[in-house]
A and B are shown apart, each in its own frame.
Chain A
Amino acid sequence: MTIDNIREILDCEVICGEEHLQSDVHTACGSDMMSDVLAFVKDQAVLLTGLVNLQVIRTAEMMDIICIVFVRAKMPDENIIEFAKEKGIVLLSTNYRMFVACGKLYEKGLGGGERI
């Protein structure tokens, strides 16, 4: 699916990266612990998280993650948004909680990689 499909499924607000909405996403990962995220490496992944700080953007940068969805209507501040723009990372915000957001994407066919 594309980032735009995710936006639609989770009824997201686009915080930044409008120009990349047509990019393809192949897998997803949901966690508030960055090292859990860093244990998971897949191409063209999206990260769902309830954590909002600069390290979330850096974690995505290290992993070549192209899109971050903040769950529970979390909103990053200007600093974080600017930082994501610099790195070309799309930021979305959804009102859904983590469990429901992940479930909705999974239901629509977005995978999470194999079991560990």
Chain B
Amino acid sequence: MNSLELRYTVDSEDFTLAGDAASRIKKKLKRMELSPDIVRRASISLYEGEINMFIHASGGEIIVTVSSDEIKMELVDRGPGIEDVKLAMREGYSMAPDNVRSLGFGAGMGLPNMKKYTDELEIESEVGVGTTVTMKIYIR
């Protein structure tokens, strides 16, 4: 299988567009020789990450690289950063404001879902600088 690199800029102006990058990437992944389960796990993880960029970090960039043995997904933002990553990873932990909850987000399940659906998850974050989330899904 050929390798592939995809880059998307996430602009947080318009919430109706939240998830557009994940949707576009899913379409591309579907056309590759990947199992539907892998495509779904990658799409959900990207979607959660993209929504987090919208809600918590005013946008950022998504870089997806597919090689013969893994899908690597990097989400880079220059948002406020996460003070306590371990706490943020806990199921049910959310700092989302109420207006976000009325949009259907803020259950504190996004990061745990990303962990659950990927084989590797690494979060590098510095308060006031930004957050980089790197996820990998093994293809075999």
Contact = CB atoms under 8 A, between A and B. Distances in A.
**Is B a genuine binding partner of A?**
yes
Contact of B104 (A41, A56, A63): A56
Contact of B107 (A36, A49, A58): A36
A55 B107 contact: no
Nearest to B41: A41
Nearest to B22: A62
Nearest to A83: B16
B28 to A, nearest CB: 14
A62 B47 contact: yes
Contact of B48 (A35, A53, A56): A35
A33 interface: yes
Interface stretch (B5-13, B109-117, B125-133): B109-117
Contacts of B48: 35, 38
Contacts of A33: 101, 104-107, 109
| Secondary structure class of chain B's binding surface, majority of residues | helix
Contacts of A32: 104
B105 A34 contact: yes
Interface string B38-63: 00110110011001000000000000
A38 B26 contact: no
B53 to A, nearest CB: 14
A21 to B, nearest CB: 23
Contacts of A53: 16, 103-104
Contacts of A55: 15, 18-19, 51, 103-105
A39 B109 contact: yes
| List of 5 A-B pairs having minimum Cβ-Cβ separation, nearest first | A35-B109, A58-B19, A33-B107, A34-B104, A35-B107
